[in-house]
Amino acid sequence: MICFFTLIVPQYEKEIIEKIAAIMPFEITDVQKARLVAARENRMKATLNNVSRDILEVLKELKAKGIKVGLISNADIIDCKYWQQS
């Protein structure tokens, strides 16, 4: 699977949180920002490494029938980080 988002800004995980923090009506510390990045990464890693067997079976059936499936996503760099391990 290819993650095209890395070709578009933001390029780094921290930038995503910086952009979100910039529009928030209150300040957050660098420590809080680092915790947010870690929490998002952990959530995505857990989600992608624990794909339901039902989903995997459906994808296998579609592939066996020669049905091609495409995915268009608004995933950011954190979301894409663990796709290859999934």
Domain count, the chain: 1
User: pLDDT under 70 in the chain at which residues?
Assistant: 1-11
At 79 the pLDDT is 79
At 7 the pLDDT is 46
At 81 the pLDDT is 81
Domain that holds residue 68: 4-85
Closest CA to 16 of 3, 26, 27, 6: 6
At 11 the pLDDT is 60
Terminal CA-CA length for the chain: 10
Burial annotation 4-13 (CB, 10 A radius, 16+ → b, else e): ebeeeebeeb
